[in-house]
Structure 1
Amino acid sequence: MTENRSDRIARGRPGEDPGPAPAPPDLRRIGANPDFWYPVALSRSVRKEGVAAAVFAGERIALYRARSGAVHALEDRCAHRQVPLSMGVVDGETLRCCYHAWAYRGDGRISQIPYLAKGDARPPRGVRAYPVREAYGLVFVFPGDPEKAAATPLPDVPAFASPRYRTMTFSRTVRCHYSFLHENLLDMNHQFLHRGVVGKLQPKLLGYESGPASVEARYLFTHTGGKRNRSASLLAAEGLGGQPSSDVMTIRTEYPYQTLDLVPEKADHPALRLWAVYVPEDAEQRVCHAYGLLMIEKPRIPAALSVAWPFIRHFTERVFAEDRMAVEAEQRAWDEQGEDRNHEVFSLILDVRDILRANGVPL
């Protein structure tokens, strides 16, 4: 059974005055829980027999693709002199440090020190290796307890492989705590920010439900006037004629991921589906990398989507740029004030903050 914030506030012992609730911990000081699969690179950025640098919450990671095609993830520091292994060279199935050619297997163990002689000091065992998997054109690592990796599923993105949809991939650095992005996507009351792109949109919250690790909200969107970018009409499946419609948008935070489905009026399936995650980069987690998969339904005439693709990309980049401007401004305010002073009144956002606190880890 799910409940929202007002249910939890109202619940208590009969006749008992709960008194003022204690102030919750500052969400911007809560870190992302590492015991999940997080993308840290696009698959195409890790070329065969190539190396790429990645990061999760201040932990530097060296990704390399062996001759066999398998991707491995190692701590990005050679056990010898701490030189980044991401500067190294792939040699078959191993990664050699660029400095003294120490060779590492995919499990992080040292397989060879070229000049090691009998009587030399005993070498170290190696470096940390991260569980790694590839899916959806992304390289995922498991930065937490490696014993939990096998039992923790990758995020489920069924539309990615569906012939009904074509996928647009996003990969952008955003200079803010990841929680600001969760709030931004869930709180569709900020459409005034995008007035120059989508015209006048009237969002109406139809309802929402929350649980220990998730919150799902449904909105009814109605276009009430103003100039609307043609790509917005195409994404809402209004067609080239741009006939107005009302769309139902369902947005869900399922920690630590987010999804969005948009179902146009009279449709029985989403015209577009979004999957997103915000991966912290620095140790203080004030910078994150946003990865997104936007799956757009193919029209009856497939060539029409190919023609429209660059325009849809431009439209989505413009919307994202406006959102990034807002959330980075929120982060700057937090940095200047040293605490979270915003005064949120929307119960949905207060609920998602509770979920992010409960499932995250203190910094």
Structure 2
Amino acid sequence: MDQLEEVVREEWGRLVALLLAQFRRLDLVEDALGDAVEAASRTWPGDGVPDRPAAWLLTAARRRVLDRLRTEDVARRKEPLMRIDAERHEEGARTMADGGNLVEDDVLRLVLMCAHPALAPEAASALSLRLVLGVPTPDIARLFLVPEPTMAARITRAKKRIVGAGIPFAVPDSSVLPERLDIVAQTAYLAFTAGYSPGTGPDLLRAEASGEAIRLVRVVLGLRPEEPSLVGLLALMLLQHSRRDARVSDGRLVLLADQDRTRWHHDEVAEANRLLARPCLAGPLSPLAASYVLQARIASEHATAPAAEDTRWDRVVRWYDLLLQVAPSPAARLARAVAVAEDSGTAAGLAALEGIEIADSHRPAAVRAELLARAGDVDAARAAYDQAVAACRNDVEREFLIGKRDAL
């Protein structure tokens, strides 16, 4: 990753927040920041990376916004009013119903803005992922299991809705904050998944993106420390994130069963298990909270097994059965089929796999190929691997699948 790409990934949300606080024109801000990044890609290689690259991008974007305002012939008459309005807005944003430092977190402030009731929850999460966290549109489409053009159109409509409805860049008061936290949690979960398992590109994982999602959940949990959905979500994220250093070796994918467990972050595993023991998870849970907790308990089964062969696959299957009652999804059915194969054999796994389809995903075909290979049906396994390779858009995973196919 070059330095510009790193700055964009780490600072995009904060830069958008600062520009919105000043100009309050979402339509101009995102375009201006994109233009600044494009200018940096042209000038930095020759002139050198500036000492403060994020500040360079912010200054360039500000100039671009002002240029656009002048082009619209409104800067001369309205820009002073806009600046006064932005100052008033920033002053108002410093006042919040709940104690804590929420207003100081620019990324969270933007996610809360996108969680406005004028937007449907899925649109709010998709917009936050693209605008605030910089997740590529193809990856967002895969997270929501829809075609890329559909997701691009959905994000565009959400942006227009924010601009047209005049949604303010402000922290909501305490009466609406709890209801927006579910959207924040879902956004963070999807952002984590986009980093943990990118659907496209050369990286098997983007640990910085997953880490930012975890940080976001920690900030919100600081405001609602007994919120079950946040407690369960943080536990799930920590358990999955704890394996990051063992998932790749020399640029190659390492499956869970083959990972060096001494490279796992066992302090994060321990923290996650303490979270799962919290009293707030003992009572009745919302479907969202229950889904996070159940996924975390599944992850804990893997994280606490001393070795792969010690995994209690029977318990994993039962956890998946509960998860499918609470939050049925093709992805959960696929994962359950893998667990069934480990617990009850290849034939049972193939039977559990029947009828599972995930649009634009290589994973059902990849699982089928592995199980067919175990069953000794080499021709069918090779055909399934061909299907998986054709559908896979992550470079590292595709190379892994090609290697498995060629080894048959």
Instruction: Return the TM-score normalized by structure 2.
Output: 0.20
Query: Higher relative contact order by CA 8 Å / sep ≥ 6: 1 or 2?
Result: 1
**Structure that is richer in strand per residue:** 1
Instruction: Return the TM-score normalized by structure 1.
Output: 0.21
